[in-house]
Amino acid sequence: MEKYLFYIPYNNFSQPFYENWSFWLSVISLVFLCLTITETILLRREAQKQNKLNKQPCLALRSSINADGISYIIFNESSNIAFNTFLLLRAGTRFKILKDGYIIGAMPINKERIIIHDDFIDIDKNNLLKKIPNIEKLIKYLETKNEDYQCIIYEDIFGNKLYSLFFVGSITLGYDIFFKAGYISDI
């Protein structure tokens, strides 16, 4: 018998490869590895979405009728601060914003801000885009809506612009009907 560096018995090659148990073990291991990698990638994507949502502020709006007229209460329901908050109203084809622009510099966690209806002024689309930069996609989307609405525009801690949109249909005590919210860049 000659000496070889690697000795492979001849009888391993006498049977077809698909009858060899090591072949099937390798195939099963490869399939399991592919499924595990796919599941890990999907779990990571879902965790990134959840992390993004946890860092996103969420502002709610309540409107009520009192002796002074209609008042709006903006409430931060999230665990993060909202910056550069605007309240935008639309009645018919007109836009309205607060006289001083921003509601406040930041909406703290679990705090509310009351705004009386008389604090608003009419503004056209061009001046609105100058006053609140980078909301062109939102304005185009809002122009397709026939209903009157109230829209809160704000930023998260990373400077991403977000919006919360509410129907005006009927003003009731309590929360207005929530319509849509999210990042302006995702519209």
Q: What are phi and psi of 18, to 5 degrees?
A: -75, -10
The model's pTM = 0.67
Between CA 161 and CA 165 the distance in angstroms is 13
Give pLDDT, residue 136.
86
Residue 59, classified by CB atoms within 10 Å of its CB into exposed (0-12), middle (13-18) or buried (19+), is buried
User: How far from the centroid of its chain's Cα atoms is residue 160's Cα?
Assistant: 10
DSSP-assigned letters across all residues of 97-150: EETTS-S-SEE-TT-EEEEEGGGEEEE-HHHHHHHSTT-HHHHHHHHT--S-EE
Residue 50, classified by CB atoms within 10 Å of its CB into exposed (0-12), middle (13-18) or buried (19+), is exposed
Q: Which of 174, 169, 125, 131 is nearest to 153 (CA)?
A: 131
Please say whether the beta carbons of 131 and 139 come within 8 A.
no
The number of C-alpha atoms within 13 Å of 179 and in the hemisphere containing its C-beta is 15
Give pLDDT, residue 39.
97
Give pLDDT, residue 105.
60
Give pLDDT, residue 9.
54
**Tokens 């779990």 correspond to what residue?**
43
Taking the chain (187 residues) in consecutive chunks of 10 residues, what is each chunk's mean pLDDT? 55 61 86 97 93 81 73 80 83 76 66 71 84 84 79 85 75 58 80
DSSP-assigned letters across all residues of 140-187: HHHHT--S-EEEEEEE-TTS-EEEEEEE-SS--SSBPPEEEEEEGGG-
Between CA 54 and CA 31 the distance in angstroms is 35
Residue 149, classified by CB atoms within 10 Å of its CB into exposed (0-12), middle (13-18) or buried (19+), is buried
Give pLDDT, residue 38.
97
Give pLDDT, residue 2.
59
